[in-house]
Amino acid sequence: MFIGQVFYDLPEVTSTNAYALSLLSQGRPAEGTVVSTFCQTAGRGQQGNHWESEPGKNIALSVLLYPDFLELRQQFFLNMAISLAVCDLVADCLPEGVRIKWPNDIYVGDRKIAGILIQNTTSNKNISATVAGIGININQTQFLTKPPNPTSLRLETGLDHNLHELIAQLCLRLEQRFLLLREGQNRLLHMQYLANLYRFDTPARFQRDNGTLFEGLITGIDESGRLRIRIGQREESFDLKTIRFL
């Protein structure tokens, strides 16, 4: 196992992603280095949002990877691999209803249980380094931030879970998925991503960034990682921020 072989277990930190990025700026830490904390005071979410995590209750960690074999235009495969690994872990604990909400939220039913923040460093046309930040709600039962409907393993199973065991399992799941990516199994990752995609091939309502509502069917992900939706007789690709699930 290389993921988690070097492991920073920090009593408290503003953001494990920020910490991992600062390690990267000082040198070249071993691939698979994990920065983890049970007390993250300024967790970063997607689109500049804050990531809420009650101290001592949840997983908040970042993994350092060097996927320099991936071209920039293939970066969504990295997203697929990481999302699938987190989905695998949650599904190990919950047999039903675990899905990946495009692009990389993990949902149980209509509730978000985990979020992923991937920060890439690029050189020429390749991804030279990645910090994959993962937050999974484990034993937290009350949340301050309402949308988007947070849940946790504890809320879903009624049981407390052992954070250390889950972190070890997450490292394993990440390693399995990252090795597939390194082997070039992009088609397999793509297929499995779609097989686990929230509302895939299901009529659903969406909202455009201009406020217009419409009904459509998710048909897949295009080469740039955009969401493909069939609306009536035609298909459209959507970038992040241009569409909202209702």
List contacts with ligand BTN (CB under 6 A): 15-17, 43-46, 49, 51, 60-62, 105, 115-117, 133-135
Nearest-approach distance from CB 87 to ligand BTN, in angstroms: 14
Nearest-approach distance from CB 173 to ligand BTN, in angstroms: 16
Closest by CA to 119, choosing from 23, 195, 40, 237, is 23
Burial status of residue 163 (CB atoms within 10 A of its CB: 0-12, 13-18, 19 or more): middle
Collect all residues with Cβ–Cβ distance below 8 Å to 79 and sequence separation of at least 6. Answer: 103, 104, 116, 118, 225
Nearer to ligand BTN, 147 or 211 (CB): 147
Q: Which helix (H) or strand (E) holds 127?
A: strand 126-136
* Contact assessment for residue 105 and residue 112, using Cβ atoms and an 8 Å cutoff: yes
Nearer to ligand BTN, 59 or 221 (CB): 59
Nearest-approach distance from CB 83 to ligand BTN, in angstroms: 11
Q: Using CB positions, name the residue nearest to ligand BTN.
A: 115
Nearer to ligand BTN, 127 or 167 (CB): 167
Nearest-approach distance from CB 215 to ligand BTN, in angstroms: 26
The side-by-side arrangement of strands in the sheet containing 243-245 is 234-238, 227-231, 213-221, 203-208, 243-245
Nearer to ligand BTN, 43 or 67 (CB): 43
3-state secondary structure of 79: helix
Nearer to ligand BTN, 113 or 181 (CB): 113
Q: Which helix (H) or strand (E) holds 82?
A: helix 75-93
In angstroms, the CA 228 to CA 72 distance is: 20
Nearest-approach distance from CB 244 to ligand BTN, in angstroms: 15
Nearer to ligand BTN, 114 or 189 (CB): 114
Nearest-approach distance from CB 217 to ligand BTN, in angstroms: 25
